[in-house]
Amino acid sequence: MTAKSEIAFLEGPRSRVKEFKFAFQTMMELIRGFRALHFIGPCITIFGSARFHQDHPYYDMTRKAAAAFASLGFTILTGGGPGLMEAANRGAKDVNGRSVGCNIQLPKEQQPNKYLDKWVYMKHFFLRKVLLVKYSFAFVVMPGGYGTLDEYFEALTLIQTHKIQNFPVIIFGCQYHQGLLQHIKQMKADGTIGSIDDSLYLVTDSIEEATKLIVERSIKAYGLKPKAPIKPFKWLFEKSWKSSLLA
């Protein structure tokens, strides 16, 4: 057995200067995101795959659901990309609702879709998730891959640990998510989540059921009502909602 005195610990790859530079760049990126999205109002964030396109039933489902939620007065917020993100933003535009994207810079699947009123680019996933959560009063999970599930469990964990309010979390695609739901049941049986943690979300394919839940647990629960737009501060060089797109 190796003695403690004989262990040579590995040297880290970053200097203090690099760490400080990363911290500063992260702070500036977060501030830029806050500035871009400050005036968008209460949102519903819709997560979903970039790879289901217009000819897929999930695209149509997402578009119709987003239209229904936007009709309630919410801004529809997505990752800003193609696929089901595009469908959600398109649904908002179908009913003249607000449509916003928080895009991520990637080698592929990174171009903002054409149904956005406003968007902001982010370099880091963890900062993007902060923005997708910060302005939302409900989270809608459409079928997707790693990224969609990452965002879903991020929101669910924040609610479970009381870091954010108990906002509605709605999973669409009962058939698609069967395996995921079975795994959550297994986690509950093994005690790795609480006995009531599987009540933190609704699983449905009914837009009407989802809309009713949002009305009860978002609009009524938090007293949301129409109000005049927030006026930007000129001395902070802020732009109102009607200003040019942010890229």
Chain mean position to CA 11: 36
Our CA angle for 231, 237, 238, nearest 5°, is 35
| C-alpha dihedral (159, 66, 75, 78), degrees to nearest 10 | 70
20 found inside a domain: no
54 found inside a domain: yes
**Residue 173, both tokens:** 């695609």
7 found inside a domain: no
170 found inside a domain: yes
Is 0.85 surpassed by the pTM of this model?
yes
Q: What is the extent of the structural domain holding 110? A: 42-223
Residue 53 confidence (pLDDT)? 92
Residue 69 confidence (pLDDT)? 98
Cβ-contact 121, 28 below 8 angstroms = no
28 found inside a domain: no
Residue 235 confidence (pLDDT)? 65
Residue 108 confidence (pLDDT)? 65
Domain count, the chain: 1
Residue 14 confidence (pLDDT)? 79
Residue 9 confidence (pLDDT)? 77
What is the rounded CA–CA span in Å between residue 76 and residue 98?
Answer: 6
| CATH code: domain of residue 132 | 3.40.50.450
Residue 15 confidence (pLDDT)? 86
24 found inside a domain: no
Instruction: Of 92, 84, 45, 43, give the one whose Cα is nearest residue 68.
Output: 92
175 found inside a domain: yes
Q: Which parts of the chain sit beneath pLDDT 70?
A: 1-5, 107-110, 228-230, 235-247
DSSP 163: S
228 found inside a domain: no
Contacts of 3 by beta carbon, 8 Å cutoff, 6+ apart: none
